[in-house]
A and B are shown apart, each in its own frame.
Chain A
């Protein structure tokens, strides 16, 4: 992930720091910084320069910027191992849209780690009598573990772990669930999972529906009306849906025009809300229909 000039000093961080390091931050003219639970720690003996930042981007995209331009325009790149590199600097606008970066100013590498937040929760409340999943919506505020739970449910369904094995189609718009790298998921999504990324969730869901004959369709974070419409179409085809949304609870969900129809039209039969208490997470399942 890092050019040699930065890798050596970064590897000199203590084993304890390396084990809990969440991010690496690179800001032009500044030393490399490791983001630890206690805050940022500067890595002595390093200085981030423009050629180093450019080399990092080249390394991240394997000298193939043309293959990741759409993602880079969103400000991030998915790396091998499911890690994610974010970049910023002076952007180049064309017709009001970000076309690219004229100059890079800083970058961050978010280190992906398996989160074992589900504990021993079996998710049995989400299963039909035949062992298949009910259409389920996962609801929680940002940073609580919606995506992690979604990925875990996808993996269990695709591997047939604790439930009947099912073909899962995943519309992974921002590459946060499966983190494809050269076609290979970098995060565990199971054996029977087909992933579409790099397009909107609505486009991805329709593509999966047409092309891959999924039994479950999954998408992270419903954020646009088009996503809801695509889910509605998919539900009409008899496919089980798995998705996530930002929110506190069912009342919060019903207050928002984007989500209300998803509940009232019976798209989802189960609602999982997540509460985080320290390192543990509590999962509450509500029957929607």
Chain B
């Protein structure tokens, strides 16, 4: 009985690991998609409503999906500490902690920090559009990876668990 229970646990553990790995890929897709949407909101606030950056970030944080909300809330806090650190430096640090992104997307987002709040509205709008474009490519890659590797991870987890059971038996 104990043996059987052990087998089930090992097999279940393996499957769980595979599912977790697959879920991480799915979460990344969700987060990148949420970030694209949030940058769209930020663009609307800055270019459409002419709002200052702190207010625009606040609005974005309120309306953004939970996966990226914290990032924008931390950006708002960075705006309240401009005497300590310029916004672009805070943005750079926060972007690095945001998501696992490709170096190109990361570089594009870093550049966005150099433009936000420092140029005319249309220039900020263009920088936001470029960042969104770059993130869209990242999203396509992330979706592809999830579809391709998600199933592989799940199967690997299950198979790995089964293999361990056989080995231990």
Contacts and interface: CB of A to CB of B under 8 A. Distances in A.
Asked whether A and B interact, the reply is yes
A282 interface: no
Given A58-B87, A58-B117, A58-B118, A66 B82 contact: no
Interface string B46-60: 100011111000000
A214 to B, nearest CB: 26
Contact of B116 (A2, A55, A63, A67): A63
Given A2-B83, A4-B83, A54-B86, A63 B46 contact: no
A65 B83 CA distance: 16
Contacts of A64: 51-54, 117
B54 A66 contact: no
A55 to B, nearest CB: 5
A248 B166 CA distance: 104
A28 interface: no
B86 A66 contact: no
A257 to B, nearest CB: 38
A163 B51 CA distance: 39
Contacts of B54: 62-64
A67 B118 CA distance: 10
A68 to B, nearest CB: 9
A7 interface: yes
Contacts of B51: 64, 67
A66 B124 contact: yes
A66 B87 contact: no
Contacts of A54: 86
A67 B53 CA distance: 9
Nearest to B121: A66
Given A63-B79, A63-B116, A65-B117, A55 B50 contact: no
A59 interface: yes
B84 interface: yes
Interface in A250-270: none
Interface string A77-101: 0000000000000000000000000
A119 B50 CA distance: 43
A58 B117 CA distance: 8
Contacts of B117: 58, 61, 63-66
Interface of A: 2-4, 7, 51, 54-55, 58-59, 61-67, 69
**Complex A-B, nearest 5 residue pairs according to Cβ-Cβ distance, in ascending order:** A64-B52, A63-B117, A63-B53, A63-B87, A66-B121
Interface of B: 46, 50-54, 79, 82-84, 86-87, 116-121, 124
